[in-house]
Amino acid sequence: MAFAAAFLVSLVLAFALTPFADRLAWATGFLDRPAARKLHTSATALLGGPVVFVCALGGWGAARLLAPATFERDAITLLSGAFIALGLGLWDDRFGMQPAVKLLGQSAAIGTLLTSGEVPNFGIPPEIAGPVLIVLLVGLMNAANFLDNMNGMLAGLAGIALLAFGVHSASRGAYGTAAAQLALAGGCAGFLPWNFPRARIFLGDAGSLFLGYSLGASAVLACHGPSTGWGRLGAGLVLGYPAFDIV
């Protein structure tokens, strides 16, 4: 029941609140304006990412009310890093950002995962594993940003992937993480109808960065604890397309 609530509450909230985020974007200047290298021909709202995240928090909160045990450390790791990535992308959407500053912010988001104690031992020394993980997850966050160039692509892919990660987390007993992942999947599903051609609203850098982080962190957490063999296989399969797209 708690898992269903996480997904459905987030879905309904995102579907209902996305039009309000659209209006807020126009009022505050969060707009993606047409340019030579862009496909859209009119200014489009850029607050899709925040509405997905906020609605996912609502879904996760509903799950916690039904099952208080869904509050656990790795769920907070997932959501806190996503929040940092969201804030980074919001600033970039509104004011722009130098690549070096963006890289520093992405590393800060990933740092919440590295310092959580939830990163599994991949068989390499920790002093090597940390930098390698940062490079891989920064690459994934940027891959998600590239995927956002087609309406519905990133929200659809992330929703399916997070749903799969949520099922896996529940199967290994990580109920808080499962609720957070299912809530994020529900937020993507509720946002999706507003993101198809002609899209009223985009995820923006805020959405693509936080969803990219969420996918990467979910892949790492899937390798932690029991059933790690299936977790690693599933992580590779689910994240294969974004990696292929950036190459």
Question: Structural domain boundaries of the chain?
Answer: 2-246
pLDDT at 160: 92
Whole-number Cα distances in Å, 175 to 66, 106, 110, 180, 216: 12, 27, 22, 9, 18
Residue 40 confidence (pLDDT) above 60: no
Annotated binding site for Mg(2+): 145, 205
pTM above 0.75, yes or no: yes
Rounded average pLDDT over 220-227: 71
Query: Residue 174 — very low, low, confident or very high, per pLDDT cuts 50/70/90?
Result: confident
Rounded average pLDDT over 33-62: 83
Mean pLDDT of the chain: 85
Listed in sequence order, the residues at least 6 apart from 117 whose beta carbon sits closer than 8 Å to its beta carbon are 73
Percent of the chain having pLDDT more than 70?
A: 83
pLDDT at 47: 94
Annotated binding site: 145, 205
Distance CA 186, CA 55 (A): 9
Residue 36: CB atoms within 10 Å: 4
The residue among 212, 191, 160, 165 whose CA lies nearest residue 56 is 191
Residue 122 confidence (pLDDT) above 80: no
Query: Residue 242 — very low, low, confident or very high, per pLDDT cuts 50/70/90?
Result: low
Distance CA 192, CA 77 (A): 26
pLDDT at 236: 62
